[in-house]
Chain A
Amino acid sequence: MTSAAATTPLVRRRPPPHVRRKRFLVGVAQHSVLIVVAIAFLAPFVFIVLTSMMTTHQALSADLWPHPFRLRNFADVFSKAPLARWTFNTLVYSCLATIGVLVSSVPVAYALARLRWRGRDAAFMIVLIALMLPPQVSVVPLYVMWAKLHLVGTLWPLIVPNWFGDAFTIFLLRQFFLTIPEEYLDAARVDGCGELRILFTVVTRLAKPALAAVALFSFLYTFNDFFLPLLYVGENSHNWVLSLGLAQFRSQHEVQWNLTMAATVLVMAPVIILFFLAQRAFVEGITLTGVKG
């Protein structure tokens, strides 16, 4: 293939006008479809943001554009609901869980990816099975367990399991560790590095992008999590997280769609800001799940 290109340097011929015109029209058609779909994807955000700045009365009318822009809604949300409290709880849950996931999953993923031992493939299969099973399958006995420990109503049942390895994180990190060239590790071994030191210096440094992606995913997962908080702290509003508080916000402020949408904006905003700050880590992580899986 390369030799053919080398012998006769190919010059791309300019396509005839009717072909060019057709290509141009196809391009226009594709772009217009894309633009229409993009508008449809953005519209919900636009409507939510617009409504969040309407007056209560206006949010209940057919108006689409806020007449006086009422930015006070965002301040009102804080006075109507303990949003600060929910945010604090969410951060406690998300941060402690994310740290735990990283600390506990990195060594497991390393052992599954880079060490040779009997039963390794079986162990990896078990990780995959754990990954695929719905959480609802094991939730009843776990609830009973936490109830017996008198910890239902606290954030501990949400945080503690994350300190014992998370199947999804282990899977992702293993996939990434497999791509690290053996030469780096061998070089460290020749220099007299033990496996633990290799793991904590060489591998973690090489895997920084993957670790960032995994940390992001874990943070987002816990930030968005609704099922487990509903289960364990649903009865204790003192420990509610943002997702729980937001879900019942409307039932407390019955018809105030504008405030509900303002609260929705406030909950969406951090995630979207985080995305723009860490866009590369996101894309890295998502492609890691699909392409190399």
Chain B
Amino acid sequence: MNGAVADTAGASAPALPLRTRARRRADWRRRRLVLLLMSPWIVGFSVFFAYPLVMSAYLSFNHYDLLSPPRWVGWANYHYLFNVDPLVWEAVRNTVVWMVLIAVPCQVLFAFGVALLVARAKSGSGVFRTVFYLPALAPPVAATLGFVYILNPATGPVNVLLSHIGINGPLWFNSPQWSKPSLILLSLWGIGNTMIIFLAAVLDVPQHLYESAELDGAGPLQRLRYVTLPTVSPVILFAVVLGVIQGLQYFTQAFVAASIASGQASQAGDTFSGLGYPNHSTLFYPVLLYQHGFTDFQMGYASAMAMLLLVVSFAVTLVIVLNSRKWVHQAVPR
């Protein structure tokens, strides 16, 4: 990226009048300044971003266990990934269907609804804003622990309260059917960031638009549909893209919930066990990648998984951003 800048240095003709030479010197100093300011990122990008990507691509064609040198195996890792590994599709389905297709719309709708309510509150909107934002602050590990306790089937407060009104609560994190909804519930608890962004956008909608819509006879729902939604649609797009990206890297909550809930069931003493508990239902793609790469030390295979994740997350972001023109209202550039 800086090659382009450096190239121009040699482009101009030699033997120049004094003024041009002074200008060239100024240009050169300017380039040096840019290079100096950019240098942390140039190093960071090369060492912690470009190199690992290239190396990941290379390792994905190798068998590598960290102890012996990498051994070239061609497409074997990919063959195993797409055709053999029984857990991959489970993990892909859990991640794509649950954490992207179900969780993201839930989070966005919920955050938007809460933001609308807070925006319309005549009194106490500051208090409400704080209350809805606080859970987003809770460290994920702590929040997950809290939820595993609150939803624990036997003595958890939620099931206790449910039993008071005569409902037999589900097994939550201990049931293959309920573990993912429990995780989504946990994620809905933490929508504070999205809510604040929506709230700022909703409050930013110019008041005169509402007034003229009202004069045209638009009811509250129509004002929401034809004034609020179009104006805040870029922010919604931003939230959706962010949600999808985070859904694809969903790891901590699933990992912690599974290890805590499984320890609760089996009373096993060893640290961090039970990935995907119960019954692979919380096995998400990053969790599986972690297991292959860093508990089984199949570095080559984990690299192949990483390449698939790279392609998918890149493609998904691209598709969303390119299609966004169709439904995101383009404001006149300010």
Q: A117-B31, A133-B314, A291-B197 are in contact. Are A138 and B40 (CB under 8 A)?
A: no
Stretch binding the partner chain, chosen from A70-78, A108-116, A182-190, A205-213: A108-116
Stretch binding the partner chain, chosen from B12-20, B52-60, B100-108: B52-60
Q: A41-B131, A132-B313, A164-B40 are in contact. Are A246 and B145 (CB under 8 A)?
A: yes
Chain A interface secondary structure, helix, strand, loop or mixed?
A: helix
> Could you tell me the distance between the alpha carbons of A139 and B193 in the complex, rounded to whole angstroms?
27
Interface positions, chain A 260-293, Cβ under 8 Å from B, are: 260-261, 264, 267-268, 271-272, 275, 279, 282-283, 286-287, 289-291, 293
Q: Are A291 and B201 in contact (CB under 8 A)?
A: yes
Q: Are B128 and A38 in contact (CB under 8 A)?
A: yes
Interface positions, chain B 8-37, Cβ under 8 Å from A, are: 8, 30-31, 33-34, 36-37
> Chain A contact residues (Cβ within 8 angstroms of B): what range?
35 or more
Q: A44-B147, A132-B313 are in contact. Are A268 and B139 (CB under 8 A)?
A: yes
Q: Are A108 and B310 in contact (CB under 8 A)?
A: no
Q: Could you say which of B121, B142, B259 has the most chain A C-beta atoms within 10 Å of its C-beta?
A: B142
Distance from A89 Cβ to chain B, minimum over Cβ atoms (Å): 15
> Could you tell me the distance between the alpha carbons of A144 and B256 in the complex, rounded to whole angstroms?
25
Q: Could you say which of B3, B59, B140, B270 has the most chain A C-beta atoms within 10 Å of its C-beta?
A: B140
- The 8 Å CB contact of B40, one of A107, A139, A272, is A107
- The 8 Å CB contact of A104, one of B40, B134, B290, is B40
The answer to whether the Cβ of A150 comes within 8 Å of any Cβ in the partner chain is no
Q: A111-B38, A165-B41 are in contact. Are A41 and B189 (CB under 8 A)?
A: yes
- The 8 Å CB contact of A161, one of B48, B56, B66, is B48
- The 8 Å CB contact of A62, one of B160, B239, B264, is B160
The answer to whether the Cβ of A64 comes within 8 Å of any Cβ in the partner chain is yes
Interface positions, chain A 216-241, Cβ under 8 Å from B, are: 220, 223-224, 226-227, 230-231, 234
Hey, which chain A residues are within 8 Å of B309, CB to CB? 134, 136-137
Distance from A289 Cβ to chain B, minimum over Cβ atoms (Å): 7
Q: Are B53 and A137 in contact (CB under 8 A)?
A: yes
Hey, which chain A residues are within 8 Å of B80, CB to CB? none
> Could you tell me the distance between the alpha carbons of A87 and B142 in the complex, rounded to whole angstroms?
14
Q: Are B145 and A260 in contact (CB under 8 A)?
A: yes
> Could you tell me the distance between the alpha carbons of A136 and B117 in the complex, rounded to whole angstroms?
37
Q: Measuring CB to CB, which residues of chain B are less than 8 angstroms from any residue of chain A?
A: 1-5, 8, 30-31, 33-34, 36-38, 40-41, 43-45, 47-49, 51-53, 55-56, 59, 64, 66, 114, 117-118, 120-123, 128, 130-135, 137-143, 145-147, 149-150, 152, 155, 157, 160-161, 163, 189, 193, 196-198, 200-201, 204, 208, 235, 238-239, 241, 245, 248-249, 251-252, 255-256, 259-260, 263-264, 267-272, 286, 289-290, 293-294, 299, 302-303, 306-307, 309-310, 313-314, 317
7 nearest A-B pairs in the assembled complex, by CB-CB distance: A164-B44, A290-B197, A138-B52, A141-B55, A104-B40, A165-B41, A111-B37
> Given A108-B37, A252-B269, A260-B149, 9 other A-B contacts at CB below 8 A?
A31-B121, A139-B306, A163-B40, A164-B41, A231-B290, A243-B140, A250-B260, A289-B193, A289-B197
Q: Measuring CB to CB, which residues of chain A are less than 8 angstroms from any residue of chain B?
A: 1, 27, 30-31, 33-34, 37-38, 41-45, 47-48, 51, 59-62, 64, 104-105, 107-108, 110-111, 115, 117-119, 122-123, 126-127, 129-130, 132-145, 147, 161, 163-165, 170, 195-196, 199, 220, 223-224, 226-227, 230-231, 234, 242-243, 246-248, 250-252, 254, 257, 260-261, 264, 267-268, 271-272, 275, 279, 282-283, 286-287, 289-291, 293
